[in-house]
Structure 1
Amino acid sequence: MTILERPQGLEPLRETIARHGLDARKALGQHFLLDPGITARIASLAGDLAGQHVVEVGPGPGGLTRALLDTDAAGIIAVEVDTRAVAVISELAAQVPGRLRVIEADAMRQDLSTLCPAPRQIIANLPYNVGTPLLVGWLRQASAWTRLTLMFQQEVAERICAAPGSSHYGRLGVLAQWTCRCGMLMHIPPGAFSPPPKVHSAVVGLIPHAGQPDAELFRAMERITAAAFGQRRKMLRGALKSVGGEALLSEAGIDGSRRAETLDIAEFDRLARIHARNTAAS
């Protein structure tokens, strides 16, 4: 059995932050999670990590990173755009040779699936300002991941998990639930962070479905949902005019007088597949 390296005798995170002058920066969407009890629970929500390679985005001072190193994960890759935080995480990596790798990069421009072998997961307290576009990018390649355990602003988390007909149901929820089984796992109050954000946060678990859409079908779903929810007060016959309108709805057997929030995931899937097929044939 391989004995996994675990960091020993770590100073409190607040002392590490002070020593490096690592103040959270609003421009980077940073809110540091310092409570080791909360970070340990987040790590546990990802399930049994034995044999899994974990990518963490935006580790900041390394609170969640420390918790991940206390699991049985085969390896952790920390992707951080802030040079100051890279220095902090690199100190931590030096204590666990070969187990934690630090990459200074913008996760928005990085194909994370190329950083480590499968099976792989993403576990992250995502920067608030880029959480949604990061998630959509990862959903495009959902088959690359066994699970995603991600923290967002609570409003974004509610949109990801929203049911049809609810006020939060929209494009993000359709894309997420079309590709993954989604669930709200944990709520976190503002006071758990430094500095405290103005909103509550929540951790969402996403487990990719078997049989993921190919790239063209995913693009078709993006076009359909962008059109449908871009004018959500309109009836579908008007909202979907740019992607086939009445003809598309008729072929899918969907009443054009309905609105986007009333359609379930299966109905959106039907629209996307027909649109992709018609686009390929034209």
Structure 2
Amino acid sequence: MAASRGVASFRLPPLPTIGEIIKLFKLRAEKQLSQNFLLDLRLTDKIVRSAGSLKDAYVCEVGPGPGGITRAILNAGVAELLLVEKDPRFIPGLQMLSDAAPGKVRIVHGDILTYQLDKTFPKHLEKNWGDDPPDIHIIGNLPFSVSTPLIIKWLENISRRDGPFRYGRIQMTLTFQKEVGEVDVAVIHFTPLVQPQIEQPFKLVEKVVQSVFQFRRKYCHQGVRILFPEARRLEKAEQMLMLADVDPTLRPTQLSMYHFKNLCDVYRKMCDEDPDLFVYNYRHELREKRLKKANFKRTVDDDLI
């Protein structure tokens, strides 16, 4: 009897298949929302298993859609499952799952980009940052259009240890879609580090990384240059790369974490020496140049008339 206690005792009762749910509620994946439906139960089970043991865990599923992954999560024996779904078409089907698992499922019709997860889970689950991760998991099959802004938001939460990460180093198991005729799905499991590899403010790290990857097919010095105003661009970019010990002819995808750490550390020192540097925005400067050029052309045309 003792051995059986470790096995999840809850199993969903017989329900319509995901395919039948889709037909019943006349659902279809919206391309403009980059949605896709995971119908293969072997795949959804594999995604959930990659999260580790969910027995008695508290789980938030992002964008459950018709509920393929949701069923696998419930069958893993979770204590509670929060579903955050933006698309109202999926709510009736998810309500069927909720009715089949009384007391285990909460459904929120909302946008995960704006929904606050900081008070979602019981307070007793909170842990210190240096402790093992709390028994809380975030799982989601992320549409392409949502994945980047959502990951950036959560990375910033991690850096500040707020939002859902006020509970500690919450683990995330997320799928990322790559549409190539059929949909390929990559499953990635995240556990926040106790100590970040780059100990600089998140906004500074974000600015450096975004600038470097602005020209991902070109040499990295092209992206580093746009961190600086045009008048000092070449000189300052060369100085930053030299101090960071980064080869300017490496492409962004060839840079290691060590390279990015050095770039961020050097850029921080340069911003400390020149406080106006951090607020400089390459796109704003480019926009102003184009506006001045357009105004000049209008003036010349008016003079000719």
Report the TM range for the smaller structure's normalisation.
0.7 to 0.9
Structure 1 residue corresponding to 2:192, chosen from 171, 188, 208: 208
Separation of aligned partners in 2, 1:101 and 1:6: 17
Structure 1 residue corresponding to 2:28, chosen from 23, 26, 42: 23
Rg (Cα) greater in structure: 2
Separation of aligned partners in 2, 1:264 and 1:63: 37
SS class of match (2:145):
coil
The answer to whether the 8 Å contact 2:177/2:184 transfers is yes
The answer to whether the 8 Å contact 1:29/1:128 transfers is yes
Structure-1 residue corresponding to 2:246: 254
The CA deviation at 1:112 is: 3.5
The answer to whether the 8 Å contact 2:142/2:177 transfers is no
Structure-2 residue corresponding to 1:60: 65
Separation of aligned partners in 1, 2:218 and 2:43: 43
Structure 2 residue corresponding to 1:268, chosen from 260, 270, 295: 260
Separation of aligned partners in 2, 1:233 and 1:150: 27
The CA deviation at 1:274 is: 3.0
The answer to whether the 8 Å contact 2:84/2:111 transfers is yes
Separation of aligned partners in 2, 1:6 and 1:44: 16
Query: Which structure carries more relative contact order (alpha carbon 8 Å, separation 6+)?
Result: 1
The answer to whether the 8 Å contact 1:217/1:276 transfers is no
Paired letter, 1:202 = A
Change (3 A) 1:215 1:112: farther
Separation of aligned partners in 2, 1:98 and 1:213: 41
Aligned pairs (5 A) from 1:177-196? none
Change (3 A) 1:62 1:233: closer
SS class of match (2:140):
strand
Paired letter, 1:268 = F
Structure-1 residue corresponding to 2:176: 152
Deviates more, 1:65-74 or 1:24-33: 24-33
The answer to whether the 8 Å contact 2:200/2:265 transfers is no
SS class of match (1:208):
coil
The answer to whether the 8 Å contact 1:33/1:39 transfers is yes
Percent identity between the two aligned chains: 32
Unmatched 5+ stretches in structure 2: 126-133, 228-235, 276-305
The answer to whether the 8 Å contact 2:63/2:141 transfers is yes
Paired letter, 1:135 = I
Separation of aligned partners in 2, 1:128 and 1:238: 27
The CA deviation at 1:133 is: 2.2
Listed one character per residue, the Cα deviations across residues 6-32 of structure 1 (whole Å, up to 9, x for unaligned) are 431212222222222222222332211
**1:138 lines up with 2:122 in the alignment:** no
Separation of aligned partners in 1, 2:43 and 2:249: 47
Separation of aligned partners in 2, 1:111 and 1:277: 34
Deviates more, 1:254-263 or 1:59-68: 254-263
Structure-2 residue corresponding to 1:218: 202
Could you state the TM-score of these two structures normalised by the residue count of structure 2? 0.69
Q: Which runs of 4+ in 1 moved over 4 A?
A: 1-6, 213-216
The CA deviation at 1:131 is: 2.0
Change (3 A) 1:241 1:69: same
Separation of aligned partners in 1, 2:110 and 2:196: 28
Paired letter, 1:276 = R
Separation of aligned partners in 2, 1:129 and 1:233: 22
The CA deviation at 1:95 is: 2.4
SS class of match (1:108):
coil
Equivalent residues, number: 242
The answer to whether the 8 Å contact 2:245/2:262 transfers is no
Separation of aligned partners in 2, 1:256 and 1:147: 36
Paired letter, 1:251 = L
Listed one character per residue, the Cα deviations across residues 141-193 of structure 1 (whole Å, up to 9, x for unaligned) are 246243221111248xxxxxxxxxxxxxxxxxxxxxxxxxxxxxxxxxx9xxx
The CA deviation at 1:62 is: 0.7
Structure-1 residue corresponding to 2:216: 232
Separation of aligned partners in 2, 1:32 and 1:199: 9
The answer to whether the 8 Å contact 1:217/1:273 transfers is no
Structure-1 residue corresponding to 2:74: 69
**1:105 lines up with 2:110 in the alignment:** yes
Listed one character per residue, the Cα deviations across residues 54-88 of structure 1 (whole Å, up to 9, x for unaligned) are 11111111111011001132221111011120121
Kindly report the root-mean-square deviation, in angstroms, between the aligned alpha carbons of the 2 structures. 2.8
Structure 1 residue corresponding to 2:271, chosen from 237, 259, 279: 279
SS class of match (2:226):
helix
